[in-house]
Amino acid sequence: MKSQKSIDPAVLELLPKAALDGVETVWDRYEAQQPQCGFGNLGICCRHCIQGPCRIDPFGNGPKAGICGANADVIVARNLLRQVAAGAAAHVDHAYEVVEALELAAKGEINYAIIDETKLRQVAIGLGLEIIDKSKAELALEVVEVAYADLANHGKRPIKWLMANAPKERIAVWASLGILPRNPDREIREALHQTTMGMDADPVNLVLATAKQGLVDGYSGLKLATDMQDILFGTPTPVVTESNLGVLKEDHVNLIVHGHVPLLSEKIVYWARKLNAEALLAGAKGILVSGICCTGNEVLMRGGIPLVTNFLAQELAIVTGAVDAMVVDVQCIMPSLTKVAACYHTEIITTMPIVKLPGATHVPFSLENADEAAQEIVRKAISSYRGRDPKKVQIPNHKQKIMAGFSVEAILGALATVDPVDPLKPLIDNIVNGNILGVVATVGCNNVKVTHDQLHVDLVKELVKNNVLVVATGCSAHALAKAGLMNSEGTNTYAGEGLKAVLTAIGQAAGLGAPLPPVLHMGSCVDNSRIGDLVTAIAKYLKVDSALLPIAASAPEPQHEKALSIGTWAVTMGLTTHLGVVPPVLGSKAVAELLTQGLTEVIGGKFYIETDGVKAAQGLIEDIRAKRKKLGLSS
């Protein structure tokens, strides 16, 4: 059992209010679930056929096989493959929506602009398309055609988006293992088939199939989604704003965007500005849009919209009593939101056909009616503001200044102020000379099983102290933003001497007059593709396999199936990938050993499980030092 619910002071302030207001939170429901089922925790229950459910006795007294004969190894491996496939499905579905948006935008059928022509051309060149003498719309349609062709591929040709973007050395490894995916939809379908009753019973084959799902996720989910979103909405450049619940304004209409896809949230941001006068008429000083989870990260990265909080505290945002409307799209939306909102005036607005919550207002969102839907939502927030009960309002006075918007392009832009001809050189030079020991990407969720945000923050403080540059996305980025690790002061307070010197030099050269933050916010969970791009660029620059680089990944508090698929992708990239919460695989020694050791021999990367943040940082530093040594760098 853990000692504390959160390290976030705003959360600790609001929990007693929640209790007083009679609101049940995720922490209450977690306690009501204790103790959780050991068979589930170990991954040794199977419900794939209705002869079951079956369970394996981990202590060897009871059944050693399910009714069909599947043993613990098979059950654990099958369950994992299904989870990773589900995570990949979420990202591919997200990517598909933005591909569709780019198509309709290029055809002029919807009111979305194609903002970033440079990115469009860059993506097109990467795909091998001829770009000369083509209009923006023509080129966009050709790019879209490539994306659709992957999704409609009937042959054996591997996914084009992967072949065009992944490091060549890695493609060779994946090809040799027979795990190059052909068509994302087909691979996800195949994974469901492969795990039904009477199918694959070879745990090694199942783990390799899991790795293949990681590639589906990485290229047809993450990379495809980010590319499309950058083309449509612009590639992020550095922005300065604030994070944590203290960003909410008592005298403003507070409208929170929550979910993952920027198609809706970008429109909300636009219309909130447009309809500001209506908020003034309602007696407010204006409309404040702020974000939770990754749609929050999307509009933060591109528009400097403040972050309210991350996954685990989504209910507490409503407990402030100051949120007039929370509009949600897809993923990580707690079904409890409407019950919490019922205690206040907050209107929960669902928008997507596959995410409806009883008790919420549903405003159907489509690409064609995006402006109308967004206006309706903003107006609902304004009208809800009129019903706010000032007696119930308590906004914690906790927020941190943050600098975000670090796309690969933005990082290279900052580095170019040091070396305009060869922008990667200053970064590489400092890794080589040891000022920067290595790079760790922290990603993923919060998980109520561990103290909210603590693993993220403990891990990263220890890493930056030891001169490891940290890049972050998703709810990990939120956690680090709230903890003051995404501003110049954070560098002065937490970074080791070598790292501080480098960040200060780049900050000065870029005209900031202060160091870059010790943690670079690279965006949403799909923007883990940016981290992949950075790894790929460094590997290409150094002409080495990415598995050899002093770079590691960590999901300190993973909760979602998406985190498992992102982590699997990181492992296929050859990275040591830390998980701070034990995934449900320990019921099979064979599978657990394969994931944490055996895979390294064939794929370079591995999972590394450590539930203490500081120890995990030390483990990752050890891994980085070992890789430096192999490259002949000082360790």
Partner 1 sequence: MKQILTRSEHCLGCKSCELACAIAHSTSKTLYEAIDELEPPQKRVFVESSGGLNFPLQCRQCLDAPCVHACMSGAMQFDLKTGLIQVAEQRCVGCMMCVMVCPFGVIAEIASTHRVAKCDRCRDLDYAPACVAACPTKALEYVEVQEFARSGRQTFIDQANSFNEGSK
Listed residue (285, 277, 278) closest to 251, CA to CA: 285
State which residue, 55 or 252, has the beta carbon closest to partner 1. Answer: 55
State which residue, 184 or 583, has the beta carbon closest to partner 1. Answer: 583
Check: CB of residue 225 under 8 Å from CB of residue 98. Answer: yes
Residues 6 or more apart in contact with residue 1 via CB below 8 angstroms: 34
State which residue, 59 or 391, has the beta carbon closest to partner 1. Answer: 59
Check: CB of residue 485 under 8 Å from CB of residue 518. Answer: yes
To which H or E segment does residue 515 belong?
A: none
Phi (first) and psi of residue 194, to 5 degrees: -60, -25
- Residue 3 interacting with partner 1 (CB under 8 A): no
**376 C-beta neighbours (distance < 10 Å), count:** 17
Q: Which structure tokens are listed for 126?
A: 């990467």
The site map against partner 1 for 189-228 (x = CB under 8 A) is ----------------------------------------
State which residue, 35 or 420, has the beta carbon closest to partner 1. Answer: 35
Minimum CB separation of residue 55 from partner 1 in Å reads: 7
To which H or E segment does residue 441 belong?
A: strand 438-442
To which H or E segment does residue 24 belong?
A: none
To which H or E segment does residue 609 belong?
A: strand 606-609
Residues 6 or more apart in contact with residue 463 via CB below 8 angstroms: 440, 470, 617, 620, 621
Question: Which one of residues 141, 509, 582, 590 is an interface residue with partner 1 (CB under 8 A)?
Answer: 582
Minimum CB separation of residue 31 from partner 1 in Å reads: 12
Which amino acid, 616? A
Residues 39-98 contacting partner 1, CB under 8 A: 39, 41-42, 55, 57-62
Minimum CB separation of residue 311 from partner 1 in Å reads: 24
Minimum CB separation of residue 43 from partner 1 in Å reads: 11
Residues 6 or more apart in contact with residue 359 via CB below 8 angstroms: 338, 339, 341, 342, 348
State which residue, 3 or 34, has the beta carbon closest to partner 1. Answer: 34
State which residue, 119 or 578, has the beta carbon closest to partner 1. Answer: 578
Scanning 12-20, 105-113, 326-334, 582-590 for contacts with partner 1 by CB under 8 A, the matching segment is 582-590
Distances (CA, A) of 160 to 145, 147, 618: 11, 8, 38
State which residue, 33 or 118, has the beta carbon closest to partner 1. Answer: 33
Torsion of CA 201, 206, 208, 212, to 10 degrees: 140
Concatenated DSSP letters of 235-297: ----EEEEESGGG--TTSEEEEEESS-HHHHHHHHHHHHHTHHHHHHTT-S-EEEEEEHHHHH
Minimum CB separation of residue 598 from partner 1 in Å reads: 17
Minimum CB separation of residue 204 from partner 1 in Å reads: 21
State which residue, 72 or 326, has the beta carbon closest to partner 1. Answer: 72
> The dihedral of CA 199, 202, 208, 214: what is its sign?
positive
Check: CB of residue 623 under 8 Å from CB of residue 608. Answer: yes
Minimum CB separation of residue 589 from partner 1 in Å reads: 8
State which residue, 315 or 557, has the beta carbon closest to partner 1. Answer: 557
Residues 6 or more apart in contact with residue 421 via CB below 8 angstroms: none
The site map against partner 1 for 246-285 (x = CB under 8 A) is ----------------------------------------
Question: Which one of residues 280, 586, 590, 614 is an interface residue with partner 1 (CB under 8 A)?
Answer: 586
Listed residue (39, 533, 15, 517) closest to 312, CA to CA: 15
Minimum CB separation of residue 45 from partner 1 in Å reads: 9
State which residue, 44 or 256, has the beta carbon closest to partner 1. Answer: 44
Pairing between β-strand 239-243 and β-strand 54-55 as defined by DSSP bridges: unpaired
The site map against partner 1 for 425-464 (x = CB under 8 A) is ----------------------------------------
Scanning 32-40, 149-157, 173-181, 624-632 for contacts with partner 1 by CB under 8 A, the matching segment is 32-40
Q: How far apart are the first and last CA of the chain?
A: 37
Minimum CB separation of residue 62 from partner 1 in Å reads: 8
Scanning 289-297, 413-421, 581-589, 596-604 for contacts with partner 1 by CB under 8 A, the matching segment is 581-589
Residue that is written with structure tokens 């043993």 in the block: 71
Scanning 125-133, 344-352, 526-534, 579-587 for contacts with partner 1 by CB under 8 A, the matching segment is 579-587
State which residue, 430 or 447, has the beta carbon closest to partner 1. Answer: 447
**335 C-beta neighbours (distance < 10 Å), count:** 11
Minimum CB separation of residue 93 from partner 1 in Å reads: 33
Distances (CA, A) of 53 to 36, 48, 49, 66, 191: 17, 8, 7, 8, 20
Minimum CB separation of residue 214 from partner 1 in Å reads: 24
Minimum CB separation of residue 561 from partner 1 in Å reads: 21
Quote the Cα angle for 326-328-331, to 5°: 140
Question: Which one of residues 20, 37, 67, 172 is an interface residue with partner 1 (CB under 8 A)?
Answer: 37
The Cα 34–Cα 32 span in angstroms is 6
The Cα 564–Cα 571 span in angstroms is 10
State which residue, 57 or 202, has the beta carbon closest to partner 1. Answer: 57
Minimum CB separation of residue 178 from partner 1 in Å reads: 32
Residue that is written with structure tokens 């998703």 in the block: 474
Q: Which structure tokens are listed for 103?
A: 């198509």
State which residue, 63 or 423, has the beta carbon closest to partner 1. Answer: 63
Minimum CB separation of residue 35 from partner 1 in Å reads: 5
Question: Which one of residues 405, 587, 605, 613 is an interface residue with partner 1 (CB under 8 A)?
Answer: 587
State which residue, 58 or 496, has the beta carbon closest to partner 1. Answer: 58
Minimum CB separation of residue 60 from partner 1 in Å reads: 5
Scanning 263-271, 493-501, 580-588, 594-602 for contacts with partner 1 by CB under 8 A, the matching segment is 580-588
Q: Number of residues in contact with partner 1, rule: CB under 8 A? A: 17
Q: Which structure tokens are listed for 379?
A: 């107006």
* Residue ranges binding partner 1 (CB under 8 A): 34-35, 37-39, 41-42, 55, 57-62, 582, 586-587
